[in-house]
Amino acid sequence: MTASDGTTISGRLANLALALVLVGWLLLVWGVLRQLGDPSPMVPRAELEATRETSLLFMFSGITALAGAVWLSGRSFERARVRAVLALALFLAPMFGLFVTAFVTHT
């Protein structure tokens, strides 16, 4: 593999990371915005739970896309591996907190 091939691969990984960031933020924002507002008292509880689960699916899909973007950005910049691992660790801690809040403490 020549240097130009490695540069091309790194460029493609960086572009894919940028696309994942865009998709991840859109999914995350869509999931959060679906949760806003007070539901009508006439809406059945089962429908509210289904809407909540769909919103959580969007949110966690967005978080997964953002984590993938962090990983790909670390792979695309050879001198940024330590910073990419640190960024991923700082990203996973809040995600774990969100997971616990969403699924474990929800009653």
Along the chain (107 residues), what's the average pLDDT of each consecutive run of 10 residues? 58 77 86 87 93 93 88 72 63 74 70
Whether 27 and 59 have beta carbons less than 8 Å apart is answered as yes
Pick the closest to residue 64 from 5, 103, 24, 37 (CA basis): 24
pLDDT for the residue 49: 93
DSSP 29-70: HHHHHTT-SPPPTTS-HHHHHHHHHHHHHHHHHHHHHHHHHH
pLDDT for the residue 42: 94
AA letter at 58: F
